Structure 1
Amino acid sequence: MDKGQPAKERIGKRFLNSSKGNFAVMTALTLPFAIVLTAFAVDEGSLYTERRHAQAITDIAAIAATSNISKAEAAVAAAFADNGLGQVLVRGPGNTTEPSPNRPVADVVRGRYTPDPSRERSSRFEPGKQPYNAVQVSLSKIGSLYFGGSVMPAPVIGTTAIASTTTEAAFSVGSRLLNLDRGLANALLGALLGGNVNLSIMDYNALASADVSVLSFLDALAIRTGVTAGTYSDLLAAKATVGEIASAMADVPGLDNVSRIALQTLGAQSSASLFVSLNALIDLGSVGKLGIGQRPAGLDIMANVLSMLTASLAIANGEHMVDASLGGTLPGLGGLKLKIAIGEPPQRSPWLAVGEEGKVVRTAQTRVSLVATVSPLATNLGGGIHLLSINLPLHVEVAYAEARLKSIECPTGRPESLKVKVDATPGIAEVYIAEAYGSGFADFTRKLLFRPVAVADVSLNILFVIKLDLLKIKGYAHARMGNTTPVPLTFTHADILSKTAKTATTSDYTQSLTSSLIDDLSLSVEPLGLPIDIGWLLGVVKTPVKLSLGAVTPAVDKLLYNLLSLLGVSLGQADVRVTGATCGRSVLVQ
């Protein structure tokens, strides 16, 4: 000890040289900073956990929205509410509301996701592109700050998720074949097949009620046409004869014996020149990528036997014009001449298809010219006037019917909740009593023109002074049925399992368009070039002519019904069937 130093200096040196209490001093100096850092760490950890929780809920909401794309906003709101965010505001288009501490906001964007590895990951989802198969859900919420809120604003937590699914349905459009007349159906089928047909009513009933698996049918057709390798799309790119199609349906396992024998008979009697482009008949969509013999999971693709046969006939005869003479086929009618032309559906739309929302199937355009000889109910009209003969020249134009797959919904994600909506538009039908002229009968690129046509021949002998052996009574009438407004049809899971057909009918549908025509028939006398006024003759012949034509209306209606049904079309109606559908499985893709 340096006794020469003052006491204060000695105490100061000992204090400075002493290491006792340093930790307490440092703790006192750094503790405020440590507390602040700890607070920030707690807030950061809390925000991280909150962001992960928000992302998980957003993922759930995206999956829920994709399971029910048509009601995506409601599904998103329900998903958030079920997971503790019931106060979320789902913003609509144009809504720019910002999130607040008590009200998160969410945006829902429908679009299409393409899992193409060659694309950048960020460009695989295309907002707004249809048909929709994906939904993007974005959530914005104010994060929670437990300590830092007094010195800084709470950050906005933003999360985004994209989920995608592939929902598909198998559906077809046409006309149900009910109550066919055996004799008439045989005559018409024979004309379309190019051979003689003699099926019984039991045969027709069996064919009309039988269904076959489309893929099993294609398997059998592949064997018959020699295409045993490759995919179903490869097979559908080929052509087959109507006979091969009928025989292949007969080969499908499980078909009843009556239908099998009838199909074998039709296959043997069919003309070898009637070829069908198979992709104009069936479009399997993504199922077409499967190899022949493979099956898609959970998707039933069925077709009615008689409907597929008649659709094949319509496609095959679309390259021909059918002329037929059906004299004596129907009571009340004498000679009956028939001419049929079938156009190609727009954009080569198939009769049966498997696809997503927006998929379309259509029937073919059909043109029918019918000239029937009608026996007059009375020939001697008195006063030297005789009704010699009556003709009914009928021209029918039926535009294509269309069915568009509007939506496939699975609200719970389970098949039992499946609901398929289809917008069906029956083809516009126009019927004339007139003579067609202008472009060729089978030329569907141009409209035909129509003018009055001879409907009756009359002889006139008045007091042996006026003697005219043949006067032409001309007539003209036009009736139109149909509208362009789609008719919504909804198929439940039960409807799909039972293969129920539903009918879309135009608002102006009438059971007998022929009756409407005859009621509106305008008659005139062909000028003779003689200085004689014979306009009064119309007053005498008008009623007998209309009564005679009206008497054969049921027979003509039956003929048109059978003919158009066999061609898969109908006046003012369209029948749609959904035979299979799948909810798909919603999965996160981004």
Structure 2
Amino acid sequence: MPVGRITRTWGARNPRARRTEGSPIVPRVATSTAKLRERAAQAVRARSHRFRQRGAIAPIVALFMTIVVAALGALDVGNVFFARRSLQRTADLAALAAAQTMDDACTQPLATARANAAANGFDADAAGQTLAVVCGRWDTKANAAPSYFAAGNVDAPLNAVQVTAQRKVPYFFLGPARQMSATATAKATNLGAFTVGTSLAQLQNGLVNSLLNALLGANLSLSVASYESLANARVRMRDVMAAAGVGTIDQLLSMQVDAAQMAELMLTALSSTSIVDANLQTDIATLQAVAQGGISNTVQFALGESAGGHGVFALNLADRQSALDATVSPLDALLVAAEIAKAGQPPIQLAAGLAIGGLGATLKVQIIEPPVLAIGEAGIDPATQQWRTQAHTAQVRLYLNVALGTLTLPVIGSVGMNLPLSLEAAPGTAWLQATHCASTKAGSTSTIGVQPGLASVCLGDPPTNLSASQPLSCTTPATLINVPNVVKVTANVALPAVVPQSSAATLTFDGVTPNDDDYQSANANAVGSVLANALSGATASLAQPSGLEVTLLGGLSLPLGLLDSMLLAALLPALDSLLSGIDPAIDPLLQLLGVQLGVATIHDLSLTCGAAQLVY
């Protein structure tokens, strides 16, 4: 075949080939060798890539195993977390249930806690599970933080339960089972509220108005029935707090108010309370009349009693917010406030006076120390060795001038006979000894101890200095008749007498208010006879030959023996009437003031069985 032909054929098949005249023909074998080299290089690169792929698998596997282990560990951690939450929930619910059944022997809380735990799927008798129940006291003042809980019943009454639940929680992948525990502390504070002596029993018509008008500087003319109905009304401390526009009990107790503001406060609280009261509208109308009665006494006082001053309410609680649901009487609170506003001031005249055994008497009242309304827990405070919750009566003085009638004397004519009488009642005290909360109010009880106070009586002229800071003096003989420049008849000596202090007593009230047992008296057999007994020697003393001293003035000359016999003939029957009527007349007034003589009446306002709450 000619060479030129071969050349054309190559060029035709491969246009990219370039050939010049005389160039040698490139054989096809050379091209095949280049391709082989290229393929060999590709194979080497492929093998190298496969080797690199096989080297990357190990880190991937290691990463995957790490993820698997972490996931399994997360399962164990999650299981432990949820087991702990479940255990804490068991302890919380058991503590709350146990606190609701608190008793000083700690028998009922133990059974209640175990039953509650079982109801929530925790068997305290199962292997690896325990439930420890401890009763004690929760007290932010006496016990250390953070739990403020002290075990034991030394400081009874108990008010808290601590429950510790334990169980073994297995790990699925991370090793052996783990011992786990959860502790919860719940408290339930049972509160009593009461006053000593305050009562509306057997009040003479108009006496309440006269007393409140004198204390408050008001102009009231309400019926005794209205006051008696109001005495049965109740408001919660949370109602009073809301009416005052404050957020805590501490803020409420630190408020400074006057008597008019106190009346408005009680009115607002009563208008918004949820406590059932069949006479609510009547009671609101009574309080409205008091609030709008022109109260002019502007003395400011604190709502809470403190070491430095008087207050309407005495609260000695570790957690004062516990008193939110305690109930009080608006009328009792108003009476206490009225006395605080007049404490330590000169005597005030009661316009209505007093009727004593058919005899008329003018009456002045002086408040030395006001009473207090107590709210709190039962038992003795170990830090002070004093009762946690105490109420005391008022300390008051009464100055009476009893009109014994008229006597016609020879030459002189008709003269009036009077008998000045002074009385001072020292405070009596009462304390909340124990409380017991049952499933019903009728089954719940408050036990209150009471100690009546002393009283001093003086048959004699009142001292010239009537300062509240001075002790009552009984040194000036009583002036029975005094006609200036004509005649003066006095007792020969002043006749002091003491009403002895009765022994302490214990009274038990149920949890239902209002009902018939709200008022109970210690030494009730003394009612109606205390002052009469104390003054019983006065008649005999005055009947003695030297019992009376008659002074004739202006040159008069009369047989003194005749005058003595005439005076005694008129005086002794009047004294008998006085002695028979003085206790029934004075006792209700003193009770209204929160004072009693030889006897102490407790007005039980409420027993509030505390709702359990977790505190730690």
TM range (shorter): 0.5 to 0.7
For 2:252, what is the secondary structure of its paired residue? helix
The structure 1 residue matched to 2:607, chosen from 571, 580, 585, is 580
Gaps of 5+ in 2: 1-90, 116-132, 163-182, 272-276, 305-310, 380-387
The structure 2 residue matched to 1:547, chosen from 573, 578, 581, is 573
CA gap 1:132/1:110 in 2 versus in 1, 3 angstroms: farther
CA-CA distance at 1:559 after TM superposition: 4.5
Which residue does 1:232 correspond to in 2? 249
CA-CA distance at 1:237 after TM superposition: 0.5
Matches within 5 A, 1:522-541: 522-523=541-542, 524-526=547-549, 538=564, 540-541=566-567
Provide the rounded CA distance (Å) in 1 between the counterparts of 2:341 and 2:399: 19
The structure 2 residue matched to 1:456, chosen from 480, 489, 499, is 480
Comparing 412-421 with 303-312, greater Cα deviation is found at 412-421
For 2:222, what is the secondary structure of its paired residue? coil
Q: Which amino acid aligns with 2:210?
A: A
Which residue does 2:191 correspond to in 1? 169
- Is the Cα contact below 8 Å between 1:135 and 1:162 reproduced in 2? no
- Is the Cα contact below 8 Å between 2:365 and 2:398 reproduced in 1? yes
Provide the rounded CA distance (Å) in 1 between the counterparts of 2:99 and 2:267: 44
CA-CA distance at 1:134 after TM superposition: 6.5
The structure 1 residue matched to 2:213, chosen from 190, 194, 214, is 190
Gaps of 5+ in 1: 1-55, 84-107, 138-160, 223-227, 460-466
Which residue does 1:246 correspond to in 2? 263
Provide the rounded CA distance (Å) in 2 between the counterparts of 1:351 and 1:202: 23
Which residue does 1:309 correspond to in 2? 334
CA-CA distance at 1:177 after TM superposition: 0.5
CA-CA distance at 1:374 after TM superposition: 2.8
Matches within 5 A, 1:332-351: 332-333=358-359, 336-344=362-370, 350-351=372-373
For 1:542, what is the secondary structure of its paired residue? helix
- Is the Cα contact below 8 Å between 1:500 and 1:578 reproduced in 2? no
- Is the Cα contact below 8 Å between 1:213 and 1:302 reproduced in 2? yes
The structure 1 residue matched to 2:374, chosen from 334, 337, 352, is 352
Provide the rounded CA distance (Å) in 2 between the counterparts of 1:273 and 1:330: 31
Matches within 5 A, 1:306-455: 306-324=331-349, 326=351, 330=355, 332-333=358-359, 336-344=362-370, 350-357=372-379, 358-376=388-406, 378-380=407-409, 388-410=415-437, 417-437=443-463, 440-443=466-469, 447-455=471-479
- Is the Cα contact below 8 Å between 2:143 and 2:150 reproduced in 1? no
Give the alignment's TM-score, normalised by structure 1.
Answer: 0.63
Provide the rounded CA distance (Å) in 1 between the counterparts of 2:480 and 2:192: 50
Give the alignment's TM-score, normalised by structure 2.
Answer: 0.60
Residue-by-residue CA offset, 1:506-545 (whole Å, 9 max, x unaligned): 3771404443355311232337699999578655533421
CA-CA distance at 1:282 after TM superposition: 1.7
For 1:167, what is the secondary structure of its paired residue? coil
Which residue does 2:291 correspond to in 1? 267
CA gap 1:219/1:569 in 2 versus in 1, 3 angstroms: farther
- Is the Cα contact below 8 Å between 1:168 and 1:582 reproduced in 2? yes
CA-CA distance at 1:326 after TM superposition: 3.3
Residue-by-residue CA offset, 1:90-141 (whole Å, 9 max, x unaligned): xxxxxxxxxxxxxxxxxx999644469994789952767645427999xxxx
Which residue does 1:487 correspond to in 2? 505
- Higher-Rg member (1/2): 2
CA-CA distance at 1:238 after TM superposition: 1.2
Matches within 5 A, 1:199-218: 199-218=222-241
- Is the Cα contact below 8 Å between 1:427 and 1:574 reproduced in 2? no
Question: How many residue pairs end up in the alignment?
Answer: 450
Residue-by-residue CA offset, 1:336-375 (whole Å, 9 max, x unaligned): 2414233156xxxx41313343311222211222223331
Residue-by-residue CA offset, 1:61-117 (whole Å, 9 max, x unaligned): xx7999321x46xx49x98xx99xxxxxxxxxxxxxxxxxxxxxxxx9996444699
Which residue does 1:256 correspond to in 2? 280
Which residue does 2:60 correspond to in 1? none
Q: Which amino acid aligns with 1:125?
A: A
CA gap 1:584/1:430 in 2 versus in 1, 3 angstroms: farther
- Is the Cα contact below 8 Å between 2:103 and 2:436 reproduced in 1? yes
Identity of aligned residues (%): 21
The structure 2 residue matched to 1:181, chosen from 204, 209, 229, is 204
Provide the rounded CA distance (Å) in 1 between the counterparts of 2:478 and 2:339: 31
CA-CA distance at 1:406 after TM superposition: 0.9
Q: Which amino acid aligns with 1:516?
A: N
